[in-house]
Structure 1
Amino acid sequence: MTTATSRHSDRRISPVFLGIVAVMAVTGWAVWTDFSASAGLAVFLFVTSAWIVSLCLHEYAHARTALHGGDISIGAKGYLTLNPLKYTHALLSIVLPVVFVIMGGIGLPGGAVFIERGRIRGRWKHSLISAAGPLTNALFAAVCTAPFWLDALDGVPPVFRFALAFLALLQVTAAILNFLPVPGLDGYGVIEPWLSYRIRRQVEPIAPFGMLAVFGILFIPEVNDAFFDAIHGILSGLGVTGNDVPCGLNYYRFWEDTHPVCQSIANQ
Protein backbone atom coordinates (compact mmCIF):
# COMPACT_ATOMS: atom_id res chain seq x y z
CA MET A 1 0.00 0.00 0.00
CA THR A 2 1.38 3.42 -0.99
CA THR A 3 1.22 5.95 1.83
CA ALA A 4 1.41 9.73 1.76
CA THR A 5 4.83 9.51 3.44
CA SER A 6 6.25 7.21 0.75
CA ARG A 7 4.87 9.43 -2.01
CA HIS A 8 6.53 12.42 -0.38
CA SER A 9 9.89 10.63 -0.17
CA ASP A 10 9.59 9.60 -3.83
CA ARG A 11 9.41 13.28 -4.77
CA ARG A 12 11.92 14.74 -2.30
CA ILE A 13 14.77 16.50 -4.12
CA SER A 14 17.92 14.40 -3.95
CA PRO A 15 20.95 15.66 -1.98
CA VAL A 16 23.01 14.68 -5.04
CA PHE A 17 21.10 17.17 -7.19
CA LEU A 18 21.27 19.84 -4.50
CA GLY A 19 25.03 19.31 -4.30
CA ILE A 20 25.37 19.81 -8.06
CA VAL A 21 23.26 22.97 -7.86
CA ALA A 22 25.52 24.21 -5.06
CA VAL A 23 28.61 23.62 -7.22
CA MET A 24 26.92 25.50 -10.07
CA ALA A 25 26.09 28.44 -7.80
CA VAL A 26 29.52 28.68 -6.18
CA THR A 27 31.47 28.33 -9.43
CA GLY A 28 29.09 30.71 -11.19
CA TRP A 29 29.84 33.26 -8.47
CA ALA A 30 33.57 32.56 -8.90
CA VAL A 31 33.32 33.22 -12.65
CA TRP A 32 31.26 36.37 -12.12
CA THR A 33 33.58 37.87 -9.50
CA ASP A 34 36.82 36.53 -11.01
CA PHE A 35 37.47 35.10 -7.55
CA SER A 36 39.22 31.97 -8.80
CA ALA A 37 42.91 32.10 -9.69
CA SER A 38 42.04 30.04 -12.77
CA ALA A 39 39.10 31.49 -14.69
CA GLY A 40 39.14 28.50 -17.02
CA LEU A 41 38.74 25.96 -14.22
CA ALA A 42 35.86 27.98 -12.76
CA VAL A 43 34.17 28.10 -16.19
CA PHE A 44 34.69 24.35 -16.61
CA LEU A 45 33.07 23.55 -13.27
CA PHE A 46 30.26 26.07 -13.75
CA VAL A 47 29.30 24.92 -17.25
CA THR A 48 29.68 21.22 -16.41
CA SER A 49 27.53 21.43 -13.28
CA ALA A 50 24.93 23.56 -15.09
CA TRP A 51 24.90 21.05 -17.94
CA ILE A 52 24.28 18.18 -15.50
CA VAL A 53 21.50 20.20 -13.88
CA SER A 54 19.89 20.60 -17.32
CA LEU A 55 20.19 16.84 -17.91
CA CYS A 56 18.35 16.23 -14.65
CA LEU A 57 15.62 18.72 -15.55
CA HIS A 58 15.30 17.15 -19.02
CA GLU A 59 14.64 13.71 -17.58
CA TYR A 60 12.48 15.11 -14.78
CA ALA A 61 10.27 16.74 -17.42
CA HIS A 62 9.78 13.36 -19.11
CA ALA A 63 9.00 11.72 -15.78
CA ARG A 64 6.66 14.40 -14.47
CA THR A 65 4.70 14.47 -17.72
CA ALA A 66 4.44 10.67 -17.68
CA LEU A 67 3.18 10.77 -14.09
CA HIS A 68 0.39 13.15 -15.04
CA GLY A 69 -0.23 11.03 -18.15
CA GLY A 70 -1.01 7.96 -16.07
CA ASP A 71 2.26 6.17 -15.22
CA ILE A 72 2.09 6.17 -11.44
CA SER A 73 5.17 3.93 -11.22
CA ILE A 74 7.44 6.90 -11.96
CA GLY A 75 7.79 8.01 -8.34
CA ALA A 76 8.93 4.63 -7.03
CA LYS A 77 11.75 4.60 -9.60
CA GLY A 78 13.23 7.78 -8.13
CA TYR A 79 12.79 9.84 -11.29
CA LEU A 80 11.09 12.70 -9.46
CA THR A 81 14.03 13.26 -7.09
CA LEU A 82 16.20 14.86 -9.83
CA ASN A 83 19.04 12.48 -8.92
CA PRO A 84 21.10 12.00 -12.12
CA LEU A 85 22.18 8.55 -10.93
CA LYS A 86 18.56 7.39 -11.16
CA TYR A 87 18.51 8.09 -14.89
CA THR A 88 20.30 4.89 -16.05
CA HIS A 89 23.85 5.08 -14.63
CA ALA A 90 26.77 7.45 -14.16
CA LEU A 91 28.52 6.58 -17.44
CA LEU A 92 25.55 7.41 -19.67
CA SER A 93 24.06 10.14 -17.49
CA ILE A 94 27.18 12.14 -16.67
CA VAL A 95 30.49 10.91 -18.06
CA LEU A 96 29.63 10.52 -21.75
CA PRO A 97 27.75 13.84 -22.04
CA VAL A 98 30.68 15.68 -20.43
CA VAL A 99 33.18 13.88 -22.69
CA PHE A 100 31.24 14.95 -25.78
CA VAL A 101 31.14 18.52 -24.50
CA ILE A 102 34.92 18.50 -24.08
CA MET A 103 35.48 16.88 -27.47
CA GLY A 104 33.34 19.07 -29.63
CA GLY A 105 30.90 21.24 -27.75
CA ILE A 106 27.91 19.01 -28.53
CA GLY A 107 25.04 18.62 -26.10
CA LEU A 108 24.70 14.84 -26.01
CA PRO A 109 21.41 13.57 -24.56
CA GLY A 110 22.26 11.89 -21.28
CA GLY A 111 20.28 9.43 -19.18
CA ALA A 112 16.85 8.03 -19.71
CA VAL A 113 13.67 7.33 -17.80
CA PHE A 114 11.87 4.07 -18.39
CA ILE A 115 8.18 4.80 -18.77
CA GLU A 116 5.52 2.12 -18.62
CA ARG A 117 3.73 3.21 -21.77
CA GLY A 118 0.96 0.67 -21.29
CA ARG A 119 -0.36 2.74 -18.38
CA ILE A 120 -0.82 5.82 -20.58
CA ARG A 121 -3.85 6.31 -22.79
CA GLY A 122 -3.97 8.73 -25.69
CA ARG A 123 -1.47 9.43 -28.47
CA TRP A 124 -1.18 13.10 -27.58
CA LYS A 125 -0.04 12.17 -24.06
CA HIS A 126 2.68 9.90 -25.43
CA SER A 127 3.89 12.62 -27.79
CA LEU A 128 3.93 15.24 -25.04
CA ILE A 129 5.95 12.97 -22.74
CA SER A 130 8.64 12.64 -25.42
CA ALA A 131 8.60 16.34 -26.25
CA ALA A 132 8.86 17.49 -22.63
CA GLY A 133 12.61 16.79 -22.36
CA PRO A 134 13.92 18.74 -25.37
CA LEU A 135 11.44 21.53 -24.65
CA THR A 136 13.17 21.84 -21.27
CA ASN A 137 16.52 22.25 -23.04
CA ALA A 138 14.96 24.92 -25.26
CA LEU A 139 13.69 26.75 -22.17
CA PHE A 140 17.12 26.45 -20.53
CA ALA A 141 18.67 27.95 -23.68
CA ALA A 142 16.21 30.84 -23.55
CA VAL A 143 17.18 31.53 -19.93
CA CYS A 144 20.93 31.37 -20.71
CA THR A 145 20.55 33.76 -23.63
CA ALA A 146 18.12 36.14 -21.90
CA PRO A 147 20.83 38.75 -21.18
CA PHE A 148 21.71 38.70 -24.89
CA TRP A 149 18.26 39.01 -26.45
CA LEU A 150 17.12 41.42 -23.74
CA ASP A 151 20.18 43.57 -24.44
CA ALA A 152 21.04 43.41 -20.74
CA LEU A 153 24.75 42.65 -20.93
CA ASP A 154 25.89 45.88 -19.28
CA GLY A 155 27.71 44.93 -16.12
CA VAL A 156 27.98 41.24 -17.04
CA PRO A 157 31.66 40.19 -16.79
CA PRO A 158 33.01 39.04 -20.18
CA VAL A 159 34.10 35.58 -18.97
CA PHE A 160 30.67 34.95 -17.44
CA ARG A 161 29.14 36.03 -20.76
CA PHE A 162 31.39 33.53 -22.56
CA ALA A 163 30.27 30.76 -20.18
CA LEU A 164 26.58 31.54 -20.72
CA ALA A 165 27.03 31.59 -24.49
CA PHE A 166 28.76 28.20 -24.49
CA LEU A 167 26.16 26.74 -22.14
CA ALA A 168 23.44 28.04 -24.48
CA LEU A 169 25.18 26.26 -27.37
CA LEU A 170 24.97 22.99 -25.46
CA GLN A 171 21.27 23.48 -24.75
CA VAL A 172 20.43 24.33 -28.36
CA THR A 173 22.36 21.34 -29.71
CA ALA A 174 20.68 19.06 -27.15
CA ALA A 175 17.23 20.34 -28.10
CA ILE A 176 17.86 20.02 -31.86
CA LEU A 177 19.43 16.55 -31.63
CA ASN A 178 16.68 15.29 -29.33
CA PHE A 179 13.97 16.54 -31.64
CA LEU A 180 15.34 14.65 -34.65
CA PRO A 181 12.78 12.02 -35.74
CA VAL A 182 15.37 9.27 -35.36
CA PRO A 183 14.56 6.02 -33.51
CA GLY A 184 15.96 6.19 -30.00
CA LEU A 185 15.65 9.97 -29.76
CA ASP A 186 12.79 12.02 -28.37
CA GLY A 187 11.78 13.32 -31.78
CA TYR A 188 10.89 9.81 -32.87
CA GLY A 189 9.00 9.36 -29.60
CA VAL A 190 6.84 12.34 -30.56
CA ILE A 191 5.76 10.82 -33.88
CA GLU A 192 5.82 7.13 -32.89
CA PRO A 193 2.28 7.04 -31.45
CA TRP A 194 0.96 8.18 -34.81
CA LEU A 195 2.69 5.45 -36.82
CA SER A 196 1.15 2.11 -37.70
CA TYR A 197 1.88 -0.93 -35.56
CA ARG A 198 3.75 -2.54 -38.47
CA ILE A 199 6.12 0.40 -38.87
CA ARG A 200 6.76 0.59 -35.11
CA ARG A 201 7.68 -3.09 -35.01
CA GLN A 202 10.04 -2.71 -37.97
CA VAL A 203 11.80 0.28 -36.39
CA GLU A 204 12.06 -1.15 -32.87
CA PRO A 205 15.23 -3.26 -33.42
CA ILE A 206 17.26 -0.29 -34.70
CA ALA A 207 16.21 2.17 -31.97
CA PRO A 208 19.25 1.47 -29.74
CA PHE A 209 21.56 2.50 -32.57
CA GLY A 210 19.80 5.70 -33.59
CA MET A 211 21.93 8.02 -31.48
CA LEU A 212 25.15 6.35 -32.62
CA ALA A 213 24.07 6.80 -36.24
CA VAL A 214 23.39 10.51 -35.69
CA PHE A 215 26.80 11.14 -34.16
CA GLY A 216 28.48 9.06 -36.85
CA ILE A 217 26.83 11.24 -39.50
CA LEU A 218 27.90 14.38 -37.62
CA PHE A 219 31.52 13.34 -38.12
CA ILE A 220 31.06 13.93 -41.87
CA PRO A 221 32.65 17.38 -42.34
CA GLU A 222 29.95 18.73 -44.64
CA VAL A 223 27.17 17.61 -42.31
CA ASN A 224 29.01 18.91 -39.26
CA ASP A 225 29.50 22.32 -40.90
CA ALA A 226 25.84 22.54 -41.91
CA PHE A 227 24.69 21.46 -38.44
CA PHE A 228 26.77 24.03 -36.59
CA ASP A 229 25.89 26.73 -39.12
CA ALA A 230 22.26 26.10 -38.21
CA ILE A 231 23.06 26.13 -34.48
CA HIS A 232 24.97 29.39 -34.72
CA GLY A 233 22.13 30.84 -36.80
CA ILE A 234 19.71 30.06 -33.95
CA LEU A 235 22.10 31.51 -31.38
CA SER A 236 22.54 34.62 -33.52
CA GLY A 237 18.76 35.03 -33.54
CA LEU A 238 18.93 34.90 -29.74
CA GLY A 239 21.55 37.64 -29.68
CA VAL A 240 24.64 35.47 -29.18
CA THR A 241 27.15 36.60 -31.79
CA GLY A 242 30.83 37.28 -32.28
CA ASN A 243 33.43 35.48 -30.20
CA ASP A 244 31.24 34.64 -27.22
CA VAL A 245 30.71 30.94 -28.01
CA PRO A 246 34.27 30.22 -29.25
CA CYS A 247 35.70 32.01 -26.22
CA GLY A 248 33.36 30.09 -23.95
CA LEU A 249 34.68 26.82 -25.37
CA ASN A 250 38.23 28.13 -25.11
CA TYR A 251 37.85 28.97 -21.42
CA TYR A 252 36.01 25.70 -20.80
CA ARG A 253 39.06 23.82 -22.05
CA PHE A 254 41.15 25.36 -19.31
CA TRP A 255 44.04 22.96 -19.93
CA GLU A 256 44.67 24.72 -23.24
CA ASP A 257 46.15 28.20 -23.65
CA THR A 258 43.56 30.95 -23.66
CA HIS A 259 43.21 32.48 -27.12
CA PRO A 260 44.68 36.02 -27.24
CA VAL A 261 41.44 37.43 -28.64
CA CYS A 262 39.43 35.97 -25.75
CA GLN A 263 42.00 37.16 -23.23
CA SER A 264 41.88 40.64 -24.71
CA ILE A 265 38.08 40.80 -24.50
CA ALA A 266 38.11 39.44 -20.95
CA ASN A 267 40.59 42.12 -19.85
CA GLN A 268 38.54 44.99 -21.21
Structure 2
Amino acid sequence: MTATTTRPSDRRISPVFLGILAVTAVTGWATWTGFAEQPGVAVFLFVTAAWIVSLCLHEYAHARTALHSGDISVGSKGYLTLNPLKYTHALLSIVLPVIFVIMGGIGLPGGAVFIERNRIQGRWKHSLISAAGPLTNVLFAAVCTAPFWLHSLDGVPRDFRFALAFLALLQVTAALLNFLPVPGLDGYGVIEPWLSYNIKRQVEPFAPFGLLFVFALLWVPSINTYFFDVIDAILRGLGISDLETYCGQNLYRFWQGTNEYCSISQ
Protein backbone atom coordinates (compact mmCIF):
# COMPACT_ATOMS: atom_id res chain seq x y z
CA MET A 1 0.00 0.00 0.00
CA THR A 2 1.30 3.44 -0.89
CA ALA A 3 1.65 5.81 2.04
CA THR A 4 -0.60 8.88 1.85
CA THR A 5 0.24 10.47 5.19
CA THR A 6 2.59 10.18 8.13
CA ARG A 7 1.50 8.91 11.51
CA PRO A 8 2.80 10.28 14.84
CA SER A 9 4.71 7.02 15.36
CA ASP A 10 6.52 7.61 12.06
CA ARG A 11 8.15 10.71 13.58
CA ARG A 12 8.84 9.41 17.07
CA ILE A 13 12.55 9.41 17.87
CA SER A 14 13.89 5.88 17.95
CA PRO A 15 15.22 4.36 21.21
CA VAL A 16 18.24 3.29 19.13
CA PHE A 17 19.11 6.90 18.39
CA LEU A 18 18.43 7.94 21.98
CA GLY A 19 20.80 5.20 23.12
CA ILE A 20 23.55 6.50 20.80
CA LEU A 21 22.89 10.02 22.07
CA ALA A 22 23.20 8.77 25.67
CA VAL A 23 26.54 7.13 24.89
CA THR A 24 27.73 10.42 23.37
CA ALA A 25 26.69 12.34 26.48
CA VAL A 26 28.21 9.90 28.99
CA THR A 27 31.51 9.49 27.16
CA GLY A 28 31.65 13.23 26.52
CA TRP A 29 31.30 13.75 30.28
CA ALA A 30 34.00 11.11 30.91
CA THR A 31 36.32 12.89 28.46
CA TRP A 32 35.62 16.28 30.05
CA THR A 33 36.13 15.14 33.64
CA GLY A 34 38.97 12.70 33.01
CA PHE A 35 36.87 10.04 34.71
CA ALA A 36 38.21 7.18 32.59
CA GLU A 37 41.56 5.65 33.50
CA GLN A 38 42.35 5.46 29.80
CA PRO A 39 41.36 8.86 28.31
CA GLY A 40 41.83 7.49 24.80
CA VAL A 41 39.02 4.98 25.35
CA ALA A 42 36.62 7.74 26.41
CA VAL A 43 37.65 9.89 23.43
CA PHE A 44 37.22 6.93 21.07
CA LEU A 45 33.70 6.20 22.31
CA PHE A 46 32.74 9.88 22.44
CA VAL A 47 33.91 10.73 18.91
CA THR A 48 32.52 7.50 17.42
CA ALA A 49 29.11 7.98 19.02
CA ALA A 50 29.01 11.67 18.08
CA TRP A 51 30.00 10.76 14.50
CA ILE A 52 27.13 8.26 14.30
CA VAL A 53 24.76 10.94 15.65
CA SER A 54 25.90 13.27 12.86
CA LEU A 55 25.36 10.52 10.27
CA CYS A 56 21.81 10.02 11.54
CA LEU A 57 21.14 13.76 11.42
CA HIS A 58 22.60 13.89 7.90
CA GLU A 59 20.15 11.28 6.65
CA TYR A 60 17.30 12.81 8.66
CA ALA A 61 17.91 16.15 6.94
CA HIS A 62 17.55 14.48 3.54
CA ALA A 63 14.34 12.76 4.62
CA ARG A 64 12.79 15.74 6.37
CA THR A 65 13.44 18.01 3.40
CA ALA A 66 11.97 15.38 1.07
CA LEU A 67 8.88 15.16 3.29
CA HIS A 68 8.23 18.89 3.02
CA SER A 69 8.94 18.74 -0.71
CA GLY A 70 6.27 16.13 -1.39
CA ASP A 71 7.64 12.66 -0.63
CA ILE A 72 5.42 11.61 2.27
CA SER A 73 6.61 8.00 1.95
CA VAL A 74 9.71 8.75 4.05
CA GLY A 75 7.62 8.52 7.21
CA SER A 76 6.45 4.94 6.65
CA LYS A 77 10.03 3.94 5.83
CA GLY A 78 11.18 5.01 9.29
CA TYR A 79 13.55 7.72 8.10
CA LEU A 80 12.05 10.36 10.41
CA THR A 81 12.78 8.34 13.55
CA LEU A 82 16.57 8.85 13.31
CA ASN A 83 16.98 5.08 13.56
CA PRO A 84 20.10 4.10 11.56
CA LEU A 85 18.78 0.54 11.27
CA LYS A 86 16.02 1.83 8.99
CA TYR A 87 18.34 3.04 6.28
CA THR A 88 18.33 1.34 2.90
CA HIS A 89 22.02 0.47 3.24
CA ALA A 90 23.01 0.48 6.91
CA LEU A 91 26.43 -0.84 5.87
CA LEU A 92 27.10 2.18 3.64
CA SER A 93 25.45 4.73 5.91
CA ILE A 94 26.86 3.74 9.30
CA VAL A 95 29.25 0.79 9.37
CA LEU A 96 31.55 1.83 6.51
CA PRO A 97 31.91 5.47 7.63
CA VAL A 98 32.77 4.34 11.18
CA ILE A 99 35.36 1.87 9.86
CA PHE A 100 36.98 4.60 7.77
CA VAL A 101 37.15 6.91 10.79
CA ILE A 102 38.86 4.19 12.80
CA MET A 103 41.26 3.26 10.01
CA GLY A 104 42.12 6.60 8.47
CA GLY A 105 40.53 9.45 10.36
CA ILE A 106 38.44 10.62 7.42
CA GLY A 107 34.76 11.53 7.42
CA LEU A 108 33.58 9.25 4.65
CA PRO A 109 30.11 10.23 3.41
CA GLY A 110 27.52 7.50 3.74
CA GLY A 111 24.26 7.37 1.94
CA ALA A 112 21.04 5.71 1.97
CA VAL A 113 17.65 7.10 2.46
CA PHE A 114 15.59 6.22 -0.58
CA ILE A 115 13.72 9.30 -1.78
CA GLU A 116 10.85 8.78 -4.23
CA ARG A 117 11.87 11.59 -6.53
CA ASN A 118 8.83 11.14 -8.78
CA ARG A 119 6.69 12.56 -5.98
CA ILE A 120 8.63 15.82 -5.96
CA GLN A 121 8.10 18.65 -8.42
CA GLY A 122 10.59 21.45 -8.99
CA ARG A 123 14.32 21.41 -9.59
CA TRP A 124 15.08 23.61 -6.60
CA LYS A 125 13.39 21.12 -4.28
CA HIS A 126 15.46 18.25 -5.63
CA SER A 127 18.66 20.26 -5.21
CA LEU A 128 17.74 21.26 -1.66
CA ILE A 129 17.03 17.66 -0.68
CA SER A 130 20.52 16.66 -1.79
CA ALA A 131 22.16 19.68 -0.14
CA ALA A 132 20.37 19.20 3.20
CA GLY A 133 22.62 16.31 4.30
CA PRO A 134 26.05 17.90 3.87
CA LEU A 135 24.69 21.22 5.18
CA THR A 136 23.97 19.30 8.40
CA ASN A 137 27.66 18.35 8.55
CA VAL A 138 28.54 22.01 8.05
CA LEU A 139 26.27 22.95 10.98
CA PHE A 140 27.75 20.16 13.11
CA ALA A 141 31.25 21.41 12.28
CA ALA A 142 30.23 24.94 13.28
CA VAL A 143 29.02 23.67 16.67
CA CYS A 144 32.21 21.63 17.26
CA THR A 145 34.46 24.54 16.36
CA ALA A 146 32.44 27.24 18.17
CA PRO A 147 34.64 27.23 21.31
CA PHE A 148 37.67 27.78 19.07
CA TRP A 149 36.46 30.62 16.85
CA LEU A 150 34.63 32.24 19.77
CA HIS A 151 37.87 32.08 21.79
CA SER A 152 36.00 30.38 24.63
CA LEU A 153 38.46 27.63 25.47
CA ASP A 154 39.19 28.78 29.01
CA GLY A 155 38.26 25.92 31.32
CA VAL A 156 37.85 23.39 28.51
CA PRO A 157 39.92 20.31 29.41
CA ARG A 158 42.75 19.47 27.02
CA ASP A 159 41.47 16.02 26.02
CA PHE A 160 37.96 17.33 25.35
CA ARG A 161 39.43 20.11 23.20
CA PHE A 162 41.42 17.58 21.20
CA ALA A 163 38.34 15.38 20.78
CA LEU A 164 36.30 18.32 19.48
CA ALA A 165 39.08 19.24 17.06
CA PHE A 166 39.17 15.71 15.61
CA LEU A 167 35.37 15.53 15.45
CA ALA A 168 35.37 18.87 13.61
CA LEU A 169 37.89 17.45 11.12
CA LEU A 170 35.53 14.55 10.42
CA GLN A 171 32.60 16.89 9.84
CA VAL A 172 34.56 19.17 7.51
CA THR A 173 35.87 16.24 5.45
CA ALA A 174 32.38 14.73 5.23
CA ALA A 175 30.88 18.04 4.09
CA LEU A 176 33.61 18.67 1.53
CA LEU A 177 33.50 15.15 0.10
CA ASN A 178 29.70 15.13 -0.02
CA PHE A 179 29.60 18.40 -1.92
CA LEU A 180 31.87 17.08 -4.69
CA PRO A 181 29.88 16.99 -7.97
CA VAL A 182 30.59 13.29 -8.41
CA PRO A 183 27.80 10.86 -9.37
CA GLY A 184 26.53 9.07 -6.29
CA LEU A 185 27.41 11.93 -3.93
CA ASP A 186 25.16 14.72 -2.73
CA GLY A 187 27.07 17.35 -4.68
CA TYR A 188 26.03 15.69 -7.92
CA GLY A 189 22.47 15.44 -6.60
CA VAL A 190 22.47 19.23 -6.21
CA ILE A 191 23.34 19.88 -9.84
CA GLU A 192 21.65 16.87 -11.45
CA PRO A 193 18.18 18.48 -11.77
CA TRP A 194 19.75 21.21 -13.89
CA LEU A 195 21.50 18.88 -16.33
CA SER A 196 20.11 17.80 -19.68
CA TYR A 197 18.43 14.44 -20.05
CA ASN A 198 21.22 13.12 -22.29
CA ILE A 199 23.94 14.02 -19.79
CA LYS A 200 22.04 12.37 -16.94
CA ARG A 201 21.62 9.19 -18.98
CA GLN A 202 25.33 9.08 -19.76
CA VAL A 203 26.32 9.65 -16.12
CA GLU A 204 23.78 7.32 -14.50
CA PRO A 205 25.76 4.04 -14.96
CA PHE A 206 28.69 5.55 -13.03
CA ALA A 207 26.68 6.61 -9.97
CA PRO A 208 27.27 3.37 -7.98
CA PHE A 209 31.03 3.82 -8.35
CA GLY A 210 31.32 7.53 -7.54
CA LEU A 211 32.38 7.04 -3.94
CA LEU A 212 34.89 4.36 -4.90
CA PHE A 213 36.34 6.75 -7.48
CA VAL A 214 36.79 9.48 -4.86
CA PHE A 215 38.31 7.00 -2.43
CA ALA A 216 40.75 5.80 -5.10
CA LEU A 217 41.78 9.40 -5.84
CA LEU A 218 42.50 10.01 -2.16
CA TRP A 219 45.04 7.18 -2.31
CA VAL A 220 47.08 9.24 -4.77
CA PRO A 221 49.69 10.95 -2.53
CA SER A 222 49.61 14.34 -4.25
CA ILE A 223 45.79 14.51 -4.24
CA ASN A 224 45.63 13.28 -0.64
CA THR A 225 48.11 15.95 0.44
CA TYR A 226 46.23 18.69 -1.39
CA PHE A 227 42.88 17.54 0.05
CA PHE A 228 44.10 17.57 3.64
CA ASP A 229 45.89 20.87 3.09
CA VAL A 230 42.49 22.33 2.21
CA ILE A 231 40.92 20.71 5.28
CA ASP A 232 43.69 22.03 7.54
CA ALA A 233 43.30 25.52 6.05
CA ILE A 234 39.56 25.50 6.77
CA LEU A 235 40.11 24.31 10.33
CA ARG A 236 42.82 26.90 10.94
CA GLY A 237 40.38 29.52 9.73
CA LEU A 238 38.01 28.25 12.41
CA GLY A 239 40.68 28.52 15.08
CA ILE A 240 41.80 24.88 15.25
CA SER A 241 45.51 24.18 14.89
CA ASP A 242 47.07 21.22 13.12
CA LEU A 243 48.45 20.06 16.47
CA GLU A 244 44.98 19.91 18.03
CA THR A 245 43.53 17.79 15.24
CA TYR A 246 46.63 15.58 15.28
CA CYS A 247 46.41 15.06 19.02
CA GLY A 248 42.67 14.40 18.77
CA GLN A 249 43.26 11.66 16.23
CA ASN A 250 46.15 10.35 18.30
CA LEU A 251 43.93 10.09 21.38
CA TYR A 252 41.15 8.53 19.33
CA ARG A 253 43.46 5.80 18.09
CA PHE A 254 44.59 5.04 21.63
CA TRP A 255 45.77 1.53 20.75
CA GLN A 256 48.73 3.07 18.94
CA GLY A 257 50.02 4.80 22.06
CA THR A 258 50.02 8.46 23.11
CA ASN A 259 52.40 10.92 21.48
CA GLU A 260 54.62 12.84 23.90
CA TYR A 261 53.84 16.18 22.25
CA CYS A 262 50.14 15.68 22.94
CA SER A 263 50.84 14.70 26.53
CA ILE A 264 52.50 18.03 27.29
CA SER A 265 50.24 20.25 25.13
CA GLN A 266 48.05 22.63 27.03
TM-score for the superposition, normalised by structure 2:
0.97
CA contact (8 A) 1:59 1:111 kept: yes
Write the letter of the residue equivalent to 2:110. Answer: G
Partner of 1:97: 97
Q: Assess, with a 3 A threshold, how the Cα gap between structure 1 residues 242 and 198 changes in structure 2: closer, same or farther.
A: closer
1:19-30 matches, within 5 Å, as: 19-30=19-30
Q: Counterparts of 2:119 and 2:205 in 1: how far apart (Å)?
A: 22
Q: Assess, with a 3 A threshold, how the Cα gap between structure 1 residues 204 and 3 changes in structure 2: closer, same or farther.
A: closer
For the aligned residue pairs, the C-alpha RMSD in angstroms reads 1.4
1:26-37 matches, within 5 Å, as: 26-37=26-37
Write the letter of the residue equivalent to 1:147. Answer: P
CA contact (8 A) 1:84 1:111 kept: no
Write the letter of the residue equivalent to 1:53. Answer: V
Partner of 1:15: 15
Partner of 1:172: 172
SS of match in other structure, 2:113: coil
CA contact (8 A) 1:56 1:83 kept: yes
What is the Cα deviation at residue 87 of structure 1? 1.6
CA contact (8 A) 2:12 2:81 kept: yes
Q: Counterparts of 1:242 and 1:217 in 2: how far apart (Å)?
A: 23
Write the letter of the residue equivalent to 1:163. Answer: A
Q: Counterparts of 2:225 and 2:242 in 1: how far apart (Å)?
A: 17
What is the Cα deviation at residue 242 of structure 1? 4.1
The answer on 1:109 being equivalent to 2:89 is no
Q: Counterparts of 1:191 and 1:92 in 2: how far apart (Å)?
A: 23
The answer on 1:207 being equivalent to 2:211 is no
Q: Counterparts of 1:7 and 1:96 in 2: how far apart (Å)?
A: 31
Partner of 1:125: 125
What is the Cα deviation at residue 90 of structure 1? 3.6
What is the Cα deviation at residue 3 of structure 1? 9.5
Q: Counterparts of 1:195 and 1:242 in 2: how far apart (Å)?
A: 39
CA contact (8 A) 2:89 2:112 kept: no
Identity %: 77
Aligned length: 265
SS of match in other structure, 1:202: helix
Q: Counterparts of 1:41 and 1:90 in 2: how far apart (Å)?
A: 25
Partner of 2:38: 38
Write the letter of the residue equivalent to 1:13. Answer: I
What is the Cα deviation at residue 96 of structure 1? 1.0
CA offsets 1:219-240 (integer angstroms, 9 cap, x no match): 0000000000000000000000
Q: Which runs of 5+ in 2 are unaligned?
A: none
Q: Counterparts of 2:10 and 2:189 in 1: how far apart (Å)?
A: 26
Q: Counterparts of 1:94 and 1:254 in 2: how far apart (Å)?
A: 22
CA offsets 1:107-162 (integer angstroms, 9 cap, x no match): 01123110000000000000000000000000000000000000000000000000
1:218-237 matches, within 5 Å, as: 218-237=218-237
The answer on 1:72 being equivalent to 2:87 is no
SS of match in other structure, 2:156: coil
Q: Counterparts of 2:40 and 2:113 in 1: how far apart (Å)?
A: 33
Q: Counterparts of 1:137 and 1:3 in 2: how far apart (Å)?
A: 31
CA offsets 1:5-32 (integer angstroms, 9 cap, x no match): x610000000000000000000000000
The answer on 1:141 being equivalent to 2:141 is yes
Q: Counterparts of 1:144 and 1:195 in 2: how far apart (Å)?
A: 35
Write the letter of the residue equivalent to 2:220. Answer: I
Deviates more, 1:18-27 or 1:100-109: 100-109
CA offsets 1:64-98 (integer angstroms, 9 cap, x no match): 00000000101000000000111224422222111
Q: Assess, with a 3 A threshold, how the Cα gap between structure 1 residues 89 and 183 changes in structure 2: closer, same or farther.
A: closer
What is the Cα deviation at residue 264 of structure 1? 1.2
TM-score for the superposition, normalised by structure 1:
0.96
Write the letter of the residue equivalent to 1:182. Answer: V
Q: Counterparts of 2:18 and 2:35 in 1: how far apart (Å)?
A: 22
Write the letter of the residue equivalent to 1:129. Answer: I
CA contact (8 A) 2:78 2:86 kept: yes
Partner of 1:162: 162
Give the 4+ runs in structure 1 shifted more than 4 A: 1-4
What is the Cα deviation at residue 254 of structure 1? 1.1
